[in-house]
Chain A
């Protein structure tokens, strides 16, 4: 329990640190902010701003104040009213825009995580039990390529094969399960390979432990030794890796969403970067980081549940 409270505290600290980091990052270009706001909202992108307009904007948004004061006000607004800024382009609250895009990303990342876990763990166990046989070697070579291929390239290849040549699924679209297949497959492949690798190593390591030999000496049948004695122990490092993979999935989702025109936070982030819509960029980063931290918090809870040494340590 104490451990989890500590973890929750660290999570809050990290979110705050990321807020600060992104906030200062967004404001490192001196005088840039006022010009950006002007171009997006008042005068149009082609015209250049006059000194007068710039100083008007600066005083309206308190841009002349020192950064730490601006950050203080930003945090105050965020905590009191949930206001984390207004998008320059859409001219709407960032938080509102994020809630519109969140479901799509959760869907995509969730599906990929499920695939990565199920396929990765089962293939890893299979590979470990077949150690050094042909199927193990083939799986290991496949994983090597799996972790080495860029996710967006896999996505493009999948599109070429399944959409353009075989015409089985549409390239883009959002809403039904069929649309989810290609993006989720492309996004999860890297993680499937990574999870499988760890599962294999961990399973082999576990099978070499003395308690496995003792379980054999007790006269237990093989399936019981694997399911009861090996699996739970072998899963400990795997659970941690699955948590870390969430980071890769969310990072990869940015590209995958862009390729498949998936209306999630990732594609919003890329569009906002191209348009230099800084409040939106900050909001997207915050949303993704928070998701990642939440998943890892859940993973931590799971871990303590699996390992009594932490629970009662």
Chain B
């Protein structure tokens, strides 16, 4: 049995009289011990999936589908049961480390509070956290605890947050856009950090990112998202080296080292999605079928692809 199983997850946000379809009918499984990457451009719905797992989305969001974690459906848990899972069994490493730390509270308190309400000895927990901080390239962790977040650099903040998320050695770590907004140096540091986390803790990780370098470096399998649905899913090296879906191909050739060839056009409106393939308007090789029928996701060479023409490629 997989550690995490997502079945038919859809998320809609009501916006006035319409609804914005952020995620539509996404299903995938994450195996114990693997690092699973969700990649795609901003607004593709990947971060919404991460937040939906821990039920951190606003109440106004309409969520359907099932999320099975260790045999439990996370969507049918009581708030108190959910709290026991949050931070302990599943933790979230939020995007934007600067915003995720409370500016008026000392770092120490923000680390310590993870152990509150957990029937864990706080001192014992702090000792573990301090050790962890050292492992994650943070020097002099005791002093860091007496400082406030604004006194740290961006990279340090991210490590601090990683440390908080790993306090309980969670079964599943959801890392949401860890390299977003970091300068190139800190980005390289983030790759090191995640390699380290993977090696030292060997736990399962769901990595949400638009950073293909990071994904290639760390992920075992990758799902590519476009307009709220998965368009391609396969082993990381296969997706990134021999992509099948035209969108994945476009994404890769838009990388700076591949010549920065931009994808033409824009993502479709998420209020009124096109009838056919969502990528149709921007696709270089669309056919008549593509504008009429929405393609189903189908098996292809050991992976999954959502395209009418996958057999030709």
Q: Which residues of A are at the interface with B, using a C-beta cutoff of 8 A?
A: 209-211, 213-221, 224, 228-229, 232-233, 236, 306-309, 312-313
Query: Is A218 in contact with B104, judged by CB distance below 8 angstroms?
Result: no
Q: Secondary structure at chain A's binding surface: helix, strand, loop or mixed?
A: helix
A to B CB contacts below 8 Å, 21 in the list: A210-B100, A211-B103, A213-B51, A214-B94, A215-B113, A217-B91, A217-B92, A218-B91, A218-B113, A219-B88, A219-B117, A219-B118, A221-B83, A224-B113, A228-B113, A229-B105, A232-B104, A233-B104, A307-B103, A308-B106, A309-B103
Taking CB atoms, residues of chain B closer than 8 Å to A215 are 102, 113
User: Does B267 count as interface, using CB distance less than 8 angstroms?
Assistant: no
Task: Please give the distance in Å from B67's CB to the nearest CB on chain A.
Answer: 15
Q: Given the interface contacts A210-B96, A211-B101, A214-B100, does A309 sit within 8 Å of B117 by beta carbon? A: no
User: Does B151 count as interface, using CB distance less than 8 angstroms?
Assistant: yes
On chain B, the number of residues with a Cβ less than 8 Å from chain A's Cβ atoms is: 31
Q: State the CA gap A307–B148 with chains docked (Å).
A: 10
Query: Is B102 in contact with A218, judged by CB distance below 8 angstroms?
Result: no
Taking CB atoms, residues of chain B closer than 8 Å to A306 are 104
User: Does B99 count as interface, using CB distance less than 8 angstroms?
Assistant: yes
Query: Is A217 in contact with B101, judged by CB distance below 8 angstroms?
Result: no
Query: Is B101 in contact with A312, judged by CB distance below 8 angstroms?
Result: no
Query: Is A221 in contact with B117, judged by CB distance below 8 angstroms?
Result: yes
Q: Given the interface contacts A210-B94, A229-B102, does A217 sit within 8 Å of B56 by beta carbon? A: yes
Contact of A312 among B96, B100, B117, B148 (CB under 8 A): B148
Q: Which residues of B are at the interface with A, using a C-beta cutoff of 8 A?
A: 51, 54, 56, 83-88, 91-92, 94, 96, 99-106, 113-114, 116-118, 148, 150-151, 161, 164
Taking CB atoms, residues of chain A closer than 8 Å to B92 are 214, 217
Q: State the CA gap A90–B161 with chains docked (Å).
A: 69
Contact of B56 among A213, A229, A233, A313 (CB under 8 A): A213
Task: Please give the distance in Å from B53's CB to the nearest CB on chain A.
Answer: 10
Taking CB atoms, residues of chain A closer than 8 Å to B54 are 217
Query: Is A211 in contact with B100, judged by CB distance below 8 angstroms?
Result: yes
Taking CB atoms, residues of chain B closer than 8 Å to A218 are 86-87, 91, 113-114, 164
Task: Please give the distance in Å from A178's CB to the nearest CB on chain B.
Answer: 41
Query: Is B114 in contact with A210, judged by CB distance below 8 angstroms?
Result: no
Q: State the CA gap A213–B50 with chains docked (Å).
A: 12
Q: State the CA gap A224–B117 with chains docked (Å).
A: 10
Task: Please give the distance in Å from A130's CB to the nearest CB on chain B.
Answer: 14
Task: Please give the distance in Å from A137's CB to the nearest CB on chain B.
Answer: 18
Q: State the CA gap A217–B103 with chains docked (Å).
A: 17
Q: A218-B113, A219-B87 are known contacts; what are 11 more A-B pairs with Cβ within 8 Å? A: A215-B113, A217-B91, A219-B83, A219-B118, A220-B87, A220-B117, A228-B105, A229-B102, A308-B104, A308-B148, A312-B151
Task: Please give the distance in Å from B153's CB to the nearest CB on chain A.
Answer: 15
Query: Is B114 in contact with A233, judged by CB distance below 8 angstroms?
Result: no
Q: Given the interface contacts A218-B87, A228-B113, does A308 sit within 8 Å of B150 by beta carbon? A: yes
Taking CB atoms, residues of chain A closer than 8 Å to B113 are 215, 218, 220, 224, 228
Query: Is A309 in contact with B150, judged by CB distance below 8 angstroms?
Result: yes
CB closest chain-B residue, reference A210: B99
Q: State the CA gap A307–B100 with chains docked (Å).
A: 17
CB closest chain-B residue, reference A231: B104
Q: State the CA gap A233–B161 with chains docked (Å).
A: 20
Taking CB atoms, residues of chain A closer than 8 Å to B150 are 308-309, 312-313
